[in-house]
Every structure is written in C-alpha cells, then in structure tokens.
Structure 1
C-alpha cells in the first residue's frame, strides 16, 4: 500500500493534478567530512521532483524558512535589528544540483562567500546492473555499480519509483536510486520517505533574503567547471580573499545596530568559515569528472 501511495505521489508531481507542483524525496546522508576524520556525520538532504526537472539540496536550506520569515516580519514591524544568525543552523552542504528532464543535463551551483557560482555539465555514468535484489526500506530494489569521482559506487534502484534519478548527481538507472554508497563508506544516501509539496519554491526564503540584504552578485555566475574549481580552491585557502580590500575600509569603531563590533563580528565569521572548510575537505568527487555524453 505504501509503495502504491509513493507511485501516486510521483504521478501527481508530474502534473496529473495542478494542486501539487513537486514530490519531495528525503535522503539521509551519512558521510565522513574530513580525510583525517574517523567519525561519520548524518544530515538530511532532499530531492524535489517536478515534471521538468529535479533539485537536490541540503534540507536545512528550506526547513528553517518558516521560522526565518516570522522573525523577519517581527523585525520589520518593530523596526529593531536582531542577529538572526545565532538562531539558525548552517547547512552542511551549500551546493544545489538541478537535473533537467529528460536530458538529465546537470547544473551545479554553490555559495562562494557572497556570490553564487556554478557550472553545467553532461554526465554519462557507466552503470553495471547486477542480478542481486533486496528490500531497501519499503521498496524492492536491484543492485548496480559504477565508477564516479574517483570512487567505486554501489547503488540500489527501484522500478516501483519509475524515475531515472537519485541524490547528488547520480542518475541513469531504470528506477529511482533508493540507496547508494561508495566502497569506503565515506558517503552513503538512503531514501527515508517522500511527500508532495504544494508550495514548492526553487529558491528558499533565506536565499531571497540573502540576495536582498547580503550585498552579493544577485545573479548566479556561470563558468566552466575548471574555472569553478579554481575559484573554489582559492576560496578554501582564503575565504575572505575576494572582499579583503573592502574589509580594510570598514572603520575600526563601526558597530552593528545591536552594538556588536563589526570588526569583531567579521573576524569571528572568518575564523568559523576557515575552521569549517578545513574540517570538511573530503570531497564526494576527488578526481576528474565522469565522461561527458556524446
């Protein structure tokens, strides 16, 4: 019964009824954040499926929207400033991945300090479908393997969910990927549930606020993948490097509306960002990208 319901939800998301614009699949991601870190971390990620494309991202990007919207409205009405950064958790993964249907062309975007930068690519994953089958959660699934990003991957896909899609960039199997992990167990995704989303928003409320008040580029800067990797590497080495000259112009005695020293706030933010980037250096893709489609 649950599998039938899941299929019905999928059909709804594909436009059988206009009341639902997306179907949200919840994937629990278990991962090893750093190459020198032994412990495994967990976070919830989502794959939002519409009739035209899918969007994969960290669930925290959207789960805190309602609370943020309420707090912003309180600030507008009272005319007072409140540092909301202390109330909200920062997503472990800031990138978003869009796959366009039916071509499955990929658009990858990420936050590089104040700017959103991205690239587009066409990936062809060379899947080897095995005879082995197993129950993964509620779904009857079949095994498949591939090589991607310098890692060996084992996936389990289910034709009960007839979509050639999955978490992150994974796609191309005759059914939704319900579980996938690399041979070293550094990264593992498992489907934990799904639900229809009637008010699907590709851009979260927090992202809209960032564009309005953050002083960033506003529009996404699309570059070649090689250029993106160069920009991200420079960002890892010196997170505030692109705005260093601007920071030098901030008066030493400048204060935030709540009385906090601007200089100290920026220093704290830079230190926290450096620490985060240093501790999260175990990339999913640690080699050249997979073959492009011909």
Structure 2
C-alpha cells in the first residue's frame, strides 16, 4: 500500500512538472503602416500551437529574450538605470490572439498603462469566416496549398491553406479551413502573411522574459465587451499617460533616475513622445470596419 501511494505521488509530481510543448509557425508579415502611403514594412510573427490552444503574436520581443535578460540583470547588479530603448527593438504589434482548442473561441489581448502598472485588456470573439473554397491550387515554398476567399473587417481576403498541416488555424484571427493557412492577404495588399518555417518548442512558455519580470506577469487581464475595448484603446492612443498624470507630482517628476542624469519627468516625456509617434505612424489597422470599430 505504501509503495502504491509513493508511485501515485511520483505520478502527480511528474504531471505537475511536465513541460508543455508547442508547434511554432513563423509568419512573415508585410504590411502598410499608414493608410495614405504605399510604403511597406516587414515583421516576423509567430503562431504557437499547443494541445489546448494557439497563441498568435509579434515575434520581436520573444526573439530578444536573452538580450533583455542580460540588460536587466546588469541593471540589478549595478543599480544604474539603463535606457533600454537604445538596445531593444520594440514590437510593431503589442496585441496577442488566443484561440481555445477545440472550440476555437478567440480572445484578443492588448496592453495599456494604468498609472505605473501595465494592464492587459481584451475581448472575447467568435468571428464567422464564411470561407469560399476554390479548386485552384498552388505551390508556396514547400507547401501544396489550395485557395479560399472571405470578407472580414472591411477587407476582402485570399488565403492559401495546406491540408498536409492538420491545424484549422492561421495568423491573426483567421481559422476554420481544413488545414493550416500558409498565406493570406487582403485584396489591396495592406496585410500579407506568408509561412516561412516551423519548429518544435519543447519547453514552451507563453510569456516572454520582459513580461515575466513585469508586475503581474505583464499586467492584470480584464475582459470587456468589444465596444468598450475599442473605446478604451481609442482614448489610450489619444493620451497614453492620462491615468498616470494625476499621480506625477513635481517632486516625483524632478527625481533623477537611479544612476542617471535623466529625471523621471524627462523619461516620461520621452516615452510619451515615442508612444504618440508610434500610433501616428501606424494608422492602417487590419480591420477597417465593424460594428464596434472606433477610429483612433
């Protein structure tokens, strides 16, 4: 009996410590940041698929995990503030999209600052992609694909999917085809995702190092109706530091950052300008219309 009890405890410990594995698919996204310009940019995005769900996000911060970790550890040891904006490339897209398996219910997440603490705000959605599958086929890279079209978010989309990759998933919110989406773009090529490769992640972690060291693992998550989400994000983009400003007394603003000649006020002013410039330079959203769409 004692031996059986020990075996049960070992089994429980094994399950508790079992590492989650994921299939990571790399999508190169070519997009037009500004709606009145033909200029395009490129960024690598990832779709991580586990047995329970998928997670789509910008790969930029995940790819810099080791750089961020070294910089943070150096600051902790020296006690000297270091402006990480000079060494870290910030992501073009801060949002994440989770799809639960097998039901494929979606959660859209984004981050904003509330006072001195980052928070995550999101909404649940079950978008209906009315796919029209065509008999047309095409070889894209190493993948044999088939064509499908749909309309979503005010844009007309053409997708190419592969039945050889048995996931009814894809980048961004796209899903529901009988195979993984290998390529998808809108009619005017504002946004175009192309699958560039994949690999197995044995010890998969959802949070990047930067998120893990942030208060609450990147911020407390609040799920709200999409209408409220859109209005909240619109207000935030107009004035990113609105909730923080009442807390910033002159005494706080005049303090020097540890080991730096830069004051708290100067740092916040710099961050505010960077945030405003970012949103001004990225005013061509993936979804241009919808029942809750708010112009930022």
Alignment of 1:143-182 (within 5 A): 143-182=147-186
Q: TM-score, normalised by structure 1?
A: 0.87
1:285 aligns to what SS in structure 2?
coil
Q: State whether structure 2 residue 227 is matched by structure 1 residue 223.
A: no
Q: State whether structure 2 residue 99 is matched by structure 1 residue 95.
A: no
RMSD: 1.9
Q: TM-score, normalised by structure 2?
A: 0.86
Q: Give the Cα–Cα distance (whole angstroms) in 2 for the partners of residues 223 and 56 of structure 1.
A: 20
Alignment of 1:1-294 (within 5 A): 21-113=21-113, 114-211=118-215, 218-257=219-258, 258-288=260-290
Greater shift, 31-40 or 75-84, is seen at 75-84
Q: Deviations over 1:55-106 (max 9, x none)?
A: 0000012111112112222333334332323210110000000000111000
Q: Give the Cα–Cα distance (whole angstroms) in 1 for the partners of residues 137 and 84 of structure 2.
A: 48
Residue 250 to residue 140, structure 1, CA distance change in 2 (3 Å): farther
Q: Give the Cα–Cα distance (whole angstroms) in 2 for the partners of residues 84 and 212 of structure 1.
A: 21
Residue 281 to residue 239, structure 1, CA distance change in 2 (3 Å): same
- How far off its partner does 1:252 sit? 4.4
Q: Give the Cα–Cα distance (whole angstroms) in 1 for the partners of residues 245 and 38 of structure 2.
A: 34
Q: Give the Cα–Cα distance (whole angstroms) in 2 for the partners of residues 148 and 61 of structure 1.
A: 28
What corresponds to 2:11 in structure 1?
none
Q: Give the Cα–Cα distance (whole angstroms) in 2 for the partners of residues 254 and 20 of structure 1.
A: 44
1:239 aligns to what SS in structure 2?
coil
Contact 1:139 1:158 in 2 (8 A): yes
Name stretches of at least 5 consecutive residues in structure 1 with no aligned partner. Answer: 1-17
Greater shift, 222-231 or 253-262, is seen at 253-262
Greater shift, 173-182 or 273-282, is seen at 273-282
- How far off its partner does 1:34 sit? 1.2
